[in-house]
Structure 1
Amino acid sequence: MPFALLDRWASPVPDPRKVAWIGEHDYAHRGLHGAGVPENSRAAFAKAIEQGHGIELDVQRSGDGHPVVFHDDALERLTGETGPVLRRSAAQLGAIALSGSAETIPTLRQALAQIGGQVPVLIEVKSDRDTRVAALCLAVRRVLEGYTGRHAVMSFDPRVSRWFRIHSPHTVRGLIISEGEDRALPGRIRRRLWLWCARPDFLAYDVRDLPSRFAARQRRRGLPVATWTVREAEHDERARTHADAAIFEVAGDPAGDVR
């Protein structure tokens, strides 16, 4: 009961009209990618749009301050180049081929121009302890200005949701959570503190942690729950039972467990 009262005060639920669309779609994780179609590529987004799926994508900040659609903070896993993304300009990154294809790294602006409101999009803002969160969030907000398609930003970092709550309150914002092995009392306390700091409009929860008492309580009081990454029939059943939307990959996608 004390936690329920504190949640209501420290992290009030959003107006249902603001977030109802979250549960109206499932979302292709980094686009509908697979053999010959790299993750977070325009080709992967085109396939998702063609099949009517929402899109989840990742953004990093380029060296010249632009949000680019790329999962990792370094180039090695996904390209033939090496080094941090932050050391390249958006133009330089846009000239780098994604491995196994002729696709290149798009900017967020290019990706949103392609999506054009045809399907909803969840934008994961990647960060670490050294990330200048305010600068990255501001760069994302500038791209989102004037974009009328359904969209939301989300992050493991509660500072991202907090920034958008203060500086862009109309933007739908999510907190990504993975309980992993951190399920003892210190972990439960941390998740509560992250929730209160972020004040998200929805949660994106690790499907391996469902069912979760924490996720269920937040869902009951009005926070939609999307779950990632749904890859198996068992995951799909968990998503249908314990969440409002699935962030999924089809069998054979090469992303593995890289978050």
Structure 2
Amino acid sequence: MLPADFLTRPIAHRALHDKAAGRVENSPSAIQAAIDKGYGIEIDLQLSKDGVPMVFHDYALNRLTNQTGAVAQRTAAELSQITLTGGNDTIPTLAEVLEQVSGRVPLLIEIKDQDGALGPKVGPLEDATAALLKDYIGTVAIMSFNPHSVAHMAKLLPDVPRGLTTCDYLAEDWPTIPKATRERLAQIPDYETAGACFISHQYDELDAGRVSELAKTGAKILCWTIRSTEQEKNARQIADNITFEGYLA
């Protein structure tokens, strides 16, 4: 069951980031700002070369730092020395973020796909994440676009709420994912087998029939990414809660 905090507090997407204020997405500064406002926090995980979960959205370093190459090609020590462009923070580890949050607000953790095609090659990132969450005292839930990742987490941490990040899987948005996989995942067929209790769905597709079906069975519906009060108003007609950025929900 998804704890009530995930339904009553708006969730800051990649924390409460604001580049103009020097708070880069998924940075300690953005995380602290969300804590100070009492928002829930959504973060993303990638795996370092030496098996450490890093709080970073992209596979590659290019967009958010002045470095190039894949996150997975650098050790945690190396990544922790890289400054995020637009701020003073460096890339944090999950362990550092867990210590920073310390249960003060709910934490929604998205495990980024490591298979490359949303397939079954999962395990190292999930295992390392579970090891850190095992003793975490705080409200936490995990989710992933990859249902294999969610199912793996169900075995590792059966008491931690799990969800699927979902969307319509258009080809232009997912160019590396095989068509058959995209068409299948768009129907959210793995909700039950992955042991999920919620989805976080693309906000402009909330009227999809499958979303309504899941809601009727008791699934909690979150959505991403809301960027205005008008979008929030519309989304809340269907969704139980929102993930937002670019304004104060």
Structure 1 counterpart SS, 2:100 = helix
Specify which of 26, 41, 46 is matched with residue 27 of structure 2.
41
Letter in 1 for 2:241: A
Partner of residue 110, structure 1: 96
**Structure 1 residues 138 and 189 mapped into 2: Cα distance closer, same or farther (>3 Å)?**
closer
Structure 2 counterpart SS, 1:191 = coil
Partner of residue 12, structure 2: 28
Matches within 5 A, 1:61-76: 61-76=47-62
C-alpha contact (below 8 Å) 1:210/1:238 kept by paired residues: no
C-alpha contact (below 8 Å) 2:165/2:200 kept by paired residues: yes
C-alpha contact (below 8 Å) 2:57/2:112 kept by paired residues: yes
Deviations 1:189-236 (A, max 9, x none): 752433244231110011010222211221122111111100023320
CA distance in structure 2 between the partners assigned to 1:20 and 1:251 by the alignment: 23
CA distance in structure 2 between the partners assigned to 1:249 and 1:138 by the alignment: 29
Counting matched residue pairs gives: 234
Q: Percentage identity across aligned positions?
A: 37
CA distance in structure 2 between the partners assigned to 1:51 and 1:124 by the alignment: 21
The two structures have a TM-score, normalised by structure 1, of 0.84
Q: Runs of 5+ in structure 2 lacking a partner?
A: 172-179
CA distance in structure 2 between the partners assigned to 1:21 and 1:219 by the alignment: 18
Specify which of 201, 205, 209 is matched with residue 201 of structure 2.
205
**Structure 1 residues 209 and 180 mapped into 2: Cα distance closer, same or farther (>3 Å)?**
farther
Range 226-235 or range 117-126, more displaced: 226-235
C-alpha contact (below 8 Å) 2:6/2:40 kept by paired residues: no
Structure 1 counterpart SS, 2:99 = helix
Letter in 2 for 1:235: Q
Question: How many angstroms does 1:164 deviate by?
Answer: 1.4
Letter in 1 for 2:229: A
The two structures have a TM-score, normalised by structure 2, of 0.88
Deviations 1:118-143 (A, max 9, x none): 00010000014348511110000011
CA distance in structure 1 between the partners assigned to 2:157 and 2:45 by the alignment: 18
Matched, 1:216 2:243: no
C-alpha contact (below 8 Å) 2:111/2:144 kept by paired residues: yes
Letter in 1 for 2:133: L
Structure 2 counterpart SS, 1:55 = strand
Letter in 1 for 2:211: A
CA distance in structure 2 between the partners assigned to 1:218 and 1:122 by the alignment: 20
Question: How many angstroms does 1:152 deviate by?
Answer: 0.6
Letter in 1 for 2:198: F
Partner of residue 225, structure 1: 221
Letter in 2 for 1:199: G
Determine which structure has the larger helix proportion and give its number: 1
CA distance in structure 2 between the partners assigned to 1:99 and 1:211 by the alignment: 37
C-alpha contact (below 8 Å) 1:125/1:153 kept by paired residues: yes
Could you list the structure 1 runs, at least 4 aligned residues long, displaced by more than 4 angstroms after superposition: none
CA distance in structure 2 between the partners assigned to 1:188 and 1:59 by the alignment: 24
Matches within 5 A, 1:115-126: 115-126=101-112
